Amino acid sequence: MLNKLVWRKSDKQNRNLQERISDMTGEIVPKHIAIIMDGNGRWAKKRAMPRVAGHHEGMKNVRKITRAANRIGVQALTLYAFSTENWKRPKMEVEFLMRLPEEFLTSFLPELMELNIRIAMIGEMDSLPEHTQNAVKKAMKETEKNTGMVLNFALNYGSRSEIVSAVQQLVQKAQDGELTVEDITEDSISTHLMTSELPEPDLLIRTSGEIRLSNFMLWQLAYTEFWFTDTLWPDFDEHSLLDAVNDYQKRNRRYGGLKGE
């Protein structure tokens, strides 16, 4: 009897999700959504589980959110998976986190191909363990011809370092006579960032109640709409994503101008 009740509740939730996604058809959907996935450790602590259990649960949640974002027509989904500052965490936790991309990408790759989703990455690839690099490179290679949504992982990523690198590249080109100082503009800086092939995020979501950017896409988020929630990342489900998008659709994005201009 209990199993039947659970099934009915799940079936009702699925039908409700389908209806919400259908209702979103024709509405303005963010082209690019960026998410700071926060709260895995706290999720585990609340359940008297080790922190790594929270990270594993968070990884499984990436699949659900990827599917939902793809279904509503998002063109790019960037997930902040590991920052340059995260190396300061305990060695065991870091080693576990470095194994997750391999597990995730290996198990999810067939569905990514079926959904026509392309894998991308921003961050310092060379500093990652070889097994992590191999998993990411393999997924990028196998999905490179996919033309649907881009699932972009920010892995070993730090925005300040990214901006410094872009400026250094431009200065070097100026020294080599390839461009003048006047050629260094907002557009030229943007084209030298790791996200140069992606549109700037329309919507940033951060879970777990923290209200800060944590060195994430500082340049790219200049005119992005922010949406913060107390929900911990493993509990952030498809309905949570649709709540964020629905709120985004009610906002008036003026880009420094006035409404209607």
Q: How confident is the model at residue 1 (pLDDT cuts 50, 70, 90)?
A: low
Instruction: Provide the H-helix boundaries in the chain.
Output: 2-23, 40-46, 51-71, 91-114, 130-143, 159-175, 186-191, 238-249
pLDDT tens digit string along 141-156?
999 999 999 999 999 9
Amino acid at 48: A
- Evaluate the CA torsion angle 188, 156, 99, 203 in order and state its sign: negative
- Strand ranges across the sheet with 76-83: 118-122, 150-157, 76-83, 32-36, 203-206, 225-228
Query: Which segments are annotated as binding site for Mg(2+)?
Result: 38, 225
Q: Check residue 21 and give its pLDDT.
A: 86
pTM of the model as a whole: 0.91
- The CATH class for the domain spanning 29-158+197-249 reads alpha beta
Collect all residues with Cβ–Cβ distance below 8 Å to 59 and sequence separation of at least 6: 100, 103, 104
Closest CA to 239 of 27, 20, 63, 47: 20
pLDDT of residue 258: 59
Number of other CB atoms surrounding residue 225 within 10 Å: 17
Spatial contact of 152 and 76, defined as CB atoms under 8 Å apart: yes
Confirm whether 14 is a catalytic residue.
Answer: no
Sequence ranges of the binding site: 38-43, 51, 55, 83-85, 87, 89, 206, 212-214, 225
Q: What six digits make up the tokens of 222?
A: 């200049």
pLDDT at position 12 is 58
Domain coordinates in residue numbering, the chain: 29-158+197-249
Out of 9-18, 25-34, 64-73, 231-240, which region has the weakest mean confidence (pLDDT)? 9-18
- Annotated binding residues for substrate, written as ranges, equal 39-43, 51, 55, 83-85, 87, 89, 206, 212-214
Kind and range of the H or E element at 153? Answer: strand 150-157
For 32-91, what is each residue's pLDDT tens digit? 999 999 999 999 999 999 999 999 999 999 999 999 999 999 999 999 999 999 999 999
Catalytic residue among 16, 23, 38, 247: 38
What tokens were used for 243?
């709540």
- Please, which residues bridge with residue 33 across strands? 77, 203
Neighbours of 57 (CB within 10 A): 18
Candidates 3, 16, 86, 230; catalytic one: 86
The position carrying tokens 């997750």 is 100
- The answer to whether 237 touches 13, Cβ cutoff 8 Å, is no
To the query of whether residue 86 is one of the catalytic residues in this protein, the response is yes
Does residue 74 sit in helix, strand or coil? coil
